Structure 1
Amino acid sequence: MVTGDRREAAGHVVMAYHERSKHHLNRYAAGPETLDWDAQPDPFRVFTGSPRRVLPLLADETAVTFAGLPAATPQPFTLQTVAQLLELSLGLAAWKEYGPDRWALRCNPSSGNLHPTETYLLAFGVQGLEDGLYHYLSRDHLLEQRWSPDTQPRAPGLYIGLSSIPWREAWKYGERALRYCQLDIGHALGALRYAAGTLGWHLHWRGDVDDARLHGLLGLDRSGDFAHAEGEDAECLLEVLPTDTMPSAIASPAALPGQWRGQANCLDPHPLYQWPVIAETTSASRMPVLTPDPIPPDPWPARKKAGQTAASALIRRRRSAQRFDPNTVMAADDFFTLLDALLPRSTLPWDLWPFTPRIHPILFVHRVSGLSSGLYALPRTAEGGPVLRMALHPDFSWEAVAAAPTHLPLWRLYGGDVRGIARTLSCHQAIAADGCFAVAFLAEYADPLKSGAWRYRLLYQEAGLLGQILYLEAESLGLNGTGIGCFFDDAAHEILGIQDKRLQSLYHFTVGRALTDTRISTLPPYAHRELNTHTGENA
């Protein structure tokens, strides 16, 4: 049990980390002084010596459309359906080439395309797949079996475990890396929920599995298996359910006789920097056993969705835009559709998130037809509205947007051209001004952290989940998005009139129409698997 003193001490560690990892107009958070891209950490974790099971690839696009998610008929747990879940959530979407450089894109986005998130599958009673614990190697779309039981567990079940390798982000971003790892977990959660929806499945957050137990479940506490490799931090466990039913008891590898196999590869044999504050903050914010927050009935009407694009096609074509067309004007109805998707409901993808919403978008509107440019707020809960009004600038107008749907809690705070402000706050990046709008995700910060430092992770994960919704919903409208992790924290707070720690900006995002760099070639994600098959190599 965590005492009040220990909880308070952990909270101080987390808040101190947040302050020291802020970017400022006159200086950036501590990071590496130089980057050698030829020495970038390996983007793929491999367990040498683990038996491999190559997964089938989707032969055709899914019948269910993105607008039709989730699919009405749940599919059975088989090797084929598990493969679809992984391919459409955490698998590769394409390879890119520019000159001698080649890099992979995945269905789940990542800060700097560095991908600290690792995925584990704990499967019992899945048709065509031996029981056990597996690591998913997205590079080749295959499972590496880390553990196999000696006896047959009694209860069937399918679970997804997520972990983070902070060094992948710290290599480029230094002390700010822990923030990005948590944002990436949020994106991965969203990617998994949409992919599960193509199979008619539900995902249940297993709050009854704390950090220590999850390390054991995923084999991350096996120091010998990571003797010469970077360690991984357990993040969360999801149970896959074919229908909205009660979760089952988990058959733990630690409690069953079996065999462990595999040695983790070293991602970076010559790290040049150390950032001990990351490990300190990770330890202070470890997840306890969690009780889901009481979630009230939906205060909003059901969403009206349209479109015939196959969900799988839309998921796989999602990209993080690098540049936007600064002349694109977005239709107001599309803008309202995107904002409506961010409101918490009891349906996909929010049925995955068993916690009180704490993130509220502040919108820098640049080019939306029929809507004046300026600063807007979207409080996502009834309680969030008063919090924003009390903490933001007292001179904001808080005018209701007459053109918006009556249920959409959209308020105009300030009218005027905010492109320069958005660009400056987002580390001078043009994408924040050239999109149709940009977003600063404000978190209710100080009050949630009083109940536990672990809520720091949840705040970032919720922000990442919101980002994943914007990515896919924008794609469904023929637009594109990109997350912005680099922004000047306190400069943003000053512009918004925030003078204390009740609110903090955790993540920026922007939506517009992407400009394609035709010099960069796009290649299929798994063509190399066919090549390996023809040459007799192991995939």
Structure 2
Amino acid sequence: MPPLLHPTRLAFSHHHRNHHLLPPSTTSTNKTTKKLAQKLLIITMSTSASPHSPPSHHHQQEQKDQILKYHNQTKHNFNNYARGPHGLDWANQPNPFRRYISSPLVPLQQPPNSSNTYSFHYPLYHTVFSSLPSPKPISKTTISQLFYDSLALSAWKTTGFSTWSLRVNPSSGNLHPTEAYIISPPIDSLVDHSFVAHYAPKEHSLEIRAEIPSGFFAKFFPKNCFLIGFSSIFWREAWKYGERAFRYCNHDVGHAIAAVSMAAAGLGWDVKVLDGLGYAELEKLMGVDVFPEFKIPSRPVKGKMPEIEFEHPDCVLVVFPSGIGEFDVDYRKLSAAISEFPKLKWKGEPNLISKEHVCWDIIYRTAEATKKPLKMLNESIVDTFRRSGVISESSYKGFSLREIIRKRRSAVDMDGSTTMTKETFYQILLHCMPSGSTSGEKQGKQLALPFRALSWDCEVHAALFVHRVVGLPKGLYFLVRNEEYFDDLRKATMSEFTWGKPDGCPDDLPLYELASGDCTELSKRLSCHQDIASDGCFSLGMVAHVEPTLSDKGPWMYPRLFWETGVLGQVLYLEAHAVGISATGIGCFFDDPVHEVLGLRGSKYQSLYHFTVGGPVVDKRIMSLPAYPGPSINA
């Protein structure tokens, strides 16, 4: 994702202005759309906030209270923004590359200079949504390819005296708080023993952190399985975005999950979050318990705090061959085995990524509140693969999966003129559905690629602003991604909404028109006055079922809701490129004004992430360089 507009800069140009939300010439806008604009104009003058939950002495209620406090405190509104730095401290910009000094560095295979794959055919992008290819064996070649197509550098950019890298997995502000690990049995020609390694994307190499017992994998997983772990360095994101950084870090985890899932699909491998593991197990499994304890201050503070650079363990994915058949994971026994990992001989010391730091204490209090406990049960890992729906396969341009995932970029600007057909629009949305082609069943269970990596039923929907889709009226639409919530969403939103099926919409695509009319200015204002939200073919806000989910499933679901939005965002990125255009994730938006436009009240449904899809404007002043070998500096 491109750098998100910073609140201090936005406040300087927009803080005291009153804006007309629809241009005077928009005479075709119907009464409902005008009412939306009028409502938004009213709330531009004031700041609204969702009520906090009442205090409670029960631990889980306290956790939920902390989460809702964080969520409300970090909302942007027209008259105030979430707290962040007043300008960027360039002298302490975090190093985007974590290294474990003195740990053995094992290079992965460098790909050939051409755009071809290593040594075997790579499937067309759109075909993996229908079925996975035959699984490839685990080898140095395939492991190298998995990382190269998911978490590696994709290019270097340079202009003037500045040089920076891009990665296959996107990140808010290109700050990359997400670190990755592989926990694996021996791999021929790579590592001759079971191991834990940190992935170093700049070098496209593995840093071997520890050797693990040889019987570990055979005891818990079928043959040809391995694990990928993710952790977050909150400081990397907080350096630029302050308190809102916790949200963005978890968006990035979701993008990384989807990036690995898609790259694995090209190799015939399936992926699932091992969500029975708790925070303590993840910390030991990845070896990130080696960081010194971080004591949370009582208020935001600035100074030398190297301990703030610790890695917060997010999740571990199990990667396994497709068609393997069902297998269970016994989390009680797995936890007992992982409890021995601190006794391993861990190698390497983490590098320092900044000289001085700022601690936004509410981030770390919220991270504490969302720590997940161990789930003591046997869980079946393999779900039936559900193919995604098809209405317009011809919309895709014939790119291979590798071409799409390696060439994915975040558009910095949209041209305001590119259009797409309604068939292409519907096709993109069909690939955004969690249950795939349902044959009359309701959407909800996450069985389609890449949503099948997640271990819970869908909790995220999308409110869409359609701007330039040929054959569809401009206006506000809603994609119900879990149809169990249809009636509740209809009751929770404005009574004036029509909830009609648009022309030509597939029967198994739960897309509904709410109100017709030109919403270009409306979507721009809601996304922090950014033109990119109105200059594409369509933009959207991802609306999650928040407070009841925290109550019913647990406080640890809060970051997982952001992961789900990140997975959906990654699909939108890939789909846009596959049909020949581009996309951008938008983390800066006015939270409660979005809710007001939809008619939502309280914390039941919340907008967590915005996105825009359209024709990109390319900045010709910026030169692209190959990812490998890259330049020797990273400015």
When normalised by structure 1's length, the TM-score is 0.93
Contact 2:251 2:565 in 1 (8 A): yes
More deviation, 499-508/252-261: 252-261
Q: Does 1:215 pair with 2:301?
A: no
Please give the alpha-carbon distance, in whole angstroms, between the structure 2 residues aligned to 1:162 and 1:239.
Answer: 12
- 1:537 matched residue in structure 2: none
Please give the alpha-carbon distance, in whole angstroms, between the structure 2 residues aligned to 1:203 and 1:150.
Answer: 23
More deviation, 288-297/77-86: 288-297
Contact 1:225 1:262 in 2 (8 A): no
Please give the alpha-carbon distance, in whole angstroms, between the structure 2 residues aligned to 1:222 and 1:337.
Answer: 46
- Please list the CA deviations of residues 149-204 of structure 1 after superposition, one character each: whole Å capped at 9, or x if unmatched: 47665626411000000001100000000000111001001100000011100112
Please give the alpha-carbon distance, in whole angstroms, between the structure 2 residues aligned to 1:174 and 1:256.
Answer: 33
Question: Which of 528, 533, 545 is the equivalent residue of 1:444?
Answer: 545
Letter in 2 for 1:215: E
Letter in 1 for 2:149: L
Q: Does 1:201 pair with 2:272?
A: no
Q: Does 1:472 pair with 2:574?
A: yes
- Please list the CA deviations of residues 320-339 of structure 1 after superposition, one character each: whole Å capped at 9, or x if unmatched: 10011101111111100111
Question: Which of 362, 369, 390 is the equivalent residue of 2:463?
Answer: 362
Within 5 A, what are the aligned runs for 1:227-238? 228=306, 230-238=309-317
**Residues 294 and 398 (structure 1), Cα distance of their counterparts in 2 relative to 1, 3 Å cut:** farther
Letter in 2 for 1:387: D
- Please list the CA deviations of residues 396-437 of structure 1 after superposition, one character each: whole Å capped at 9, or x if unmatched: 121221221121111111111101010001000000000110
- 2:4 matched residue in structure 1: none
Within 5 A, what are the aligned runs for 1:124-203? 124-130=185-191, 131-149=194-212, 153=216, 155=218, 157-203=225-271
Q: Does 1:45 pair with 2:98?
A: yes
Letter in 1 for 2:89: D
Instruction: Report the count of equivalent residues.
Output: 528
Q: Over aligned residues, Cα RMSD in angstroms?
A: 2.5
Q: Any stretches of 5+ residues in structure 2 without a counterpart?
A: 1-55, 295-304, 436-446
What secondary structure is seen at the aligned counterpart in 1 of 2:359? coil
Deviation at 1:458, TM superposition (A): 1.1
Deviation at 1:57, TM superposition (A): 2.2
Please give the alpha-carbon distance, in whole angstroms, between the structure 2 residues aligned to 1:180 and 1:314.
Answer: 24
**Residues 166 and 115 (structure 1), Cα distance of their counterparts in 2 relative to 1, 3 Å cut:** same
- Please list the CA deviations of residues 34-55 of structure 1 after superposition, one character each: whole Å capped at 9, or x if unmatched: 1133531000101001000011
Q: Does 1:329 pair with 2:419?
A: yes
Deviation at 1:294, TM superposition (A): 12
Please give the alpha-carbon distance, in whole angstroms, between the structure 1 residues aligned to 2:199 and 2:76.
Answer: 34
Question: Which of 126, 134, 141 is the equivalent residue of 1:67?
Answer: 126
Within 5 A, what are the aligned runs for 1:1-400? 5-59=58-112, 60-61=116-117, 62-69=121-128, 71-130=132-191, 131-149=194-212, 153=216, 155=218, 157-223=225-291, 228=306, 230-245=309-324, 246=327, 252=338, 254-255=340-341, 258-271=344-357, 273-290=358-375, 302-303=389-390, 305=393, 307=396, 308-345=398-435, 346-400=447-501
- 2:26 matched residue in structure 1: none
Deviation at 1:71, TM superposition (A): 4.2
When normalised by structure 2's length, the TM-score is 0.79
Letter in 2 for 1:236: C
Please give the alpha-carbon distance, in whole angstroms, between the structure 2 residues aligned to 1:383 and 1:297.
Answer: 20
Contact 2:186 2:195 in 1 (8 A): no
- 1:483 matched residue in structure 2: 585
Contact 1:294 1:355 in 2 (8 A): no
- Please list the CA deviations of residues 203-246 of structure 1 after superposition, one character each: whole Å capped at 9, or x if unmatched: 12212211111101111111369994510100001111013432
**Residues 261 and 228 (structure 1), Cα distance of their counterparts in 2 relative to 1, 3 Å cut:** farther
Please give the alpha-carbon distance, in whole angstroms, between the structure 2 residues aligned to 1:258 and 1:82.
Answer: 24
Letter in 2 for 1:317: K
Letter in 2 for 1:262: G
Deviation at 1:129, TM superposition (A): 2.7
More deviation, 489-498/150-159: 150-159
Contact 1:367 1:437 in 2 (8 A): yes
Letter in 1 for 2:417: N
Please give the alpha-carbon distance, in whole angstroms, between the structure 1 residues aligned to 2:431 and 2:415.
Answer: 24
**Residues 403 and 294 (structure 1), Cα distance of their counterparts in 2 relative to 1, 3 Å cut:** farther
What secondary structure is seen at the aligned counterpart in 1 of 2:165? strand
Please give the alpha-carbon distance, in whole angstroms, between the structure 1 residues aligned to 2:351 and 2:293.
Answer: 9
Identical positions, percent: 38
Please give the alpha-carbon distance, in whole angstroms, between the structure 2 residues aligned to 1:299 and 1:220.
Answer: 35
Letter in 2 for 1:110: S
- 2:27 matched residue in structure 1: none
**Residues 369 and 90 (structure 1), Cα distance of their counterparts in 2 relative to 1, 3 Å cut:** same
Letter in 2 for 1:287: K
Deviation at 1:120, TM superposition (A): 0.5
- 1:528 matched residue in structure 2: 630
- Please list the CA deviations of residues 277-311 of structure 1 after superposition, one character each: whole Å capped at 9, or x if unmatched: 11100000012235879999999974464653111
What secondary structure is seen at the aligned counterpart in 1 of 2:318? strand
Please give the alpha-carbon distance, in whole angstroms, between the structure 2 residues aligned to 1:404 and 1:154.
Answer: 47
Letter in 1 for 2:315: C
- Please list the CA deviations of residues 364-388 of structure 1 after superposition, one character each: whole Å capped at 9, or x if unmatched: 0001001000000010122121121
More deviation, 124-133/104-113: 124-133
Letter in 2 for 1:92: L
**Residues 495 and 153 (structure 1), Cα distance of their counterparts in 2 relative to 1, 3 Å cut:** closer
